């Protein structure tokens, strides 16, 4: 049962489906997802008319199943989204789920009034409840397919929109160029953050074909097709940020100056990273962190306000493990390093993403976000202020910067450390783009999607 609109209780976002009564015939479209000639997954969309309480509404859903591979590891990822939309593209509610097998993340939103929505973000061990304010004039990404159906553009017409994503909690610019009617349907060219997609819709607004990013496409399955896996190695290579004139000993240097060129938002200024915008370029001066002297390594827990989502801090297992790792150590930095080294040693390296600290322990493996998630949890359980750092790290074997997550711990000052790569502290080969809680990982999305549109150049001092 849906909580009444305007309810401020933390259980406000419940099963929105009970508020919707279907009345029409459900349309379903099944497409294959292809990388080259190999079918690497499935895309299913559906829509049905009905009523949301007393109003006319549409339930629109999309589910994606992908078969992924990383080196010799093969696994599945599934995602789904269901949106209930009233007249005038009025989003009533939506649910979105991402399941990596090892971990599952769900976002639910319910309209309160105007542009304000209640939001729950849920994983197996945590629930975060907050409110989202959609910017005035922005189109919510959930209703974009219906927007394209209702907005009958003339051939070669172009529309610029601000599109807001409820899970990412971000607005991004989108340009829609209508190319006209083709044999496959109405063709739209979509462009955002320097990336381009093409989308074909039939007369009912259902997707019949989509050319997506990274060489992936969705289309009707053929009679003969080869089942395959989408290689994450290829995706990581394509999303890496080119590095120009990067010295081989970057990680061991005490300081470095970079010039960032291209389409992106300037990163944040911080204690060890100075940011200067000069025209269309951004200059970063990075300094290797300096530890306070032992007597001044004082953790300040007042710096942490909330941000416990995914940390499982009420778990006895987390608290007991944290105390076991730090043992009799009294120095805050030594405690943090002991935790980071334990995670680096005991948690395997894979691309299976977890969404809670307990999931990382139970799975025993994960990518950089999983390593950082467990490290932040164990540090917080030990009374150490810790947060996530998101950005790029230089990868000498690729001669490029790859997107990465690490940790900052406060021991009299915020000191970055990398439990995945084993850097204590992390050096000037780590460029920070955002810091904060676990949900703040989504702030990297504009940078990742802008790959190909920016690069990082080293400049001798």
Over residues 67-87, the pLDDT tens digits come to 999 888 898 999 999 999 999
Same domain, 43 and 180: yes
In which band, very low, low, confident or very high, does the pLDDT at 89 lie, cut at 50, 70 and 90?
Answer: very high
Same domain, 344 and 395: yes
Number of domains present in the structure of the chain: 2
The mean per-residue pLDDT over the stretch 259-264 comes to 75
- Which structural domain, as residue segments, surrounds residue 86? 16-228
Same domain, 247 and 188: no
Crossing angle for the helix pair 332-346 and 368-381, to the nearest 10 degrees: 140
Among 3-7, 179-183, 399-403, name the one with the lowest average pLDDT.
3-7
Same domain, 188 and 247: no
Same domain, 188 and 253: no
Same domain, 371 and 414: yes
Same domain, 134 and 266: no
> When comparing pLDDT for 129 and 1, which is higher?
129
Report if pTM > 0.75. Answer: yes
Q: What pLDDT sits at residue 264?
A: 63
Among 251-255, 270-274, 302-306, 332-336, name the one with the lowest average pLDDT.
302-306
- Long-range Cβ pairs for the range 205-211 (8 Å, 24+): 205/47, 205/145, 205/146, 205/148, 205/149, 206/27, 206/29, 206/45, 206/47, 207/29, 207/31, 207/43, 207/45, 207/145, 208/29, 208/31, 208/184, 209/31, 209/184, 209/185, 210/31, 210/43
Same domain, 127 and 220: yes
Same domain, 223 and 249: no
Residue 11 covered by a domain: no
Residue 234 covered by a domain: no
The mean per-residue pLDDT over the stretch 289-293 comes to 94
Same domain, 201 and 329: no
Same domain, 84 and 33: yes
Domain boundary among 177, 199, 228: 228
Tell which residue, 194, 179, 171, 172, has the closest CA to residue 148: 179
Over residues 244-261, the pLDDT tens digits come to 899 989 989 999 999 988
Same domain, 259 and 113: no
Query: For the domain that residue 305 is a member of, what is the CATH number?
Result: 3.10.620.30
Residue 3 covered by a domain: no
């Amino acid at each position: 049962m849906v909580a009444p609109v305007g309810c401020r209780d933390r259980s406000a976002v419940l099963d929105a489906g009970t508020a919707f009564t279907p009345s029409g015939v459900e349309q379903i479209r099944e497409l294959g997802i292809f990388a080259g000639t190999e079918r690497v997954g499935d895309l299913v969309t559906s829509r049905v008319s009905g009523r949301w309480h007393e109003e006319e509404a549409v339930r629109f859903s999309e589910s994606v199943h992908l078969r992924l591979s990383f080196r010799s590891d093969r696994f599945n990822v599934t995602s789904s989204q269901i949106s209930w939309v009233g007249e005038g593209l009025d989003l009533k509610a939506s649910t979105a789920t991402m399941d990596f097998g090892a971990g599952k993340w769900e976002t639910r939103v319910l309209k309160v009034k105007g542009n304000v929505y209640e939001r729950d973000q849920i994983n197996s061990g945590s629930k975060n409840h907050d409110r989202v304010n959609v910017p005035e004039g922005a189109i919510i990404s959930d209703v974009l397919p219906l927007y394209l159906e209702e907005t009958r553009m003339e051939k070669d017409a172009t529309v610029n929109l601000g599109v807001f994503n409820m899970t990412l909690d971000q607005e991004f610019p989108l340009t829609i160029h209508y190319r006209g009617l083709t044999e496959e349907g109405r063709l739209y060219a979509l462009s955002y953050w320097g990336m381009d997609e093409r989308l074909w819709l039939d007369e009912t607004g259902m997707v019949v074909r989509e050319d997506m990013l990274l060489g992936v496409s969705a289309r009707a399955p053929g009679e003969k097709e080869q089942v395959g896996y989408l290689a994450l190695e290829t995706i990581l290579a394509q999303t890496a940020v080119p590095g120009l004139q990067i010295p081989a000993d970057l990680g061991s240097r005490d300081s470095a100056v970079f010039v960032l060129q291209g389409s992106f938002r300037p990163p944040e200024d911080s204690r060890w990273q100075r940011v200067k915008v000069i025209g269309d370029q951004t200059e970063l001066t990075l300094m290797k962190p300096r530890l306070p002297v032992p007597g001044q390594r004082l953790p300040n827990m007042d710096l942490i306000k909330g941000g416990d989502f995914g940390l499982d801090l009420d778990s006895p297992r987390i608290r007991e493990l944290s105390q076991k790792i730090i043992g009799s150590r009294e120095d805050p930095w030594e405690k943090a390093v002991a935790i980071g080294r334990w995670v680096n040693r005991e948690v395997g390296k894979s691309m299976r993403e977890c969404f809670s600290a307990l999931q990382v322990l139970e799975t025993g493996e994960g990518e950089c976000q999983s390593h950082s998630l467990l490290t932040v949890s164990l540090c917080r359980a030990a009374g150490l202020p810790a947060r996530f750092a998101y950005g790029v790290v230089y990868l000498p074997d690729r001669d490029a910067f790859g997107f990465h997550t690490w940790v900052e711990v406060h021991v009299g000052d915020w000191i970055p450390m990398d439990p995945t790569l084993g850097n204590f502290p992390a050096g000037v080969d780590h460029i920070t783009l955002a810091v904060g809680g676990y949900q703040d990982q989504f702030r990297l999305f504009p940078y990742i999607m802008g790959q190909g549109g920016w690069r990082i150049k080293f400049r001798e001092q």
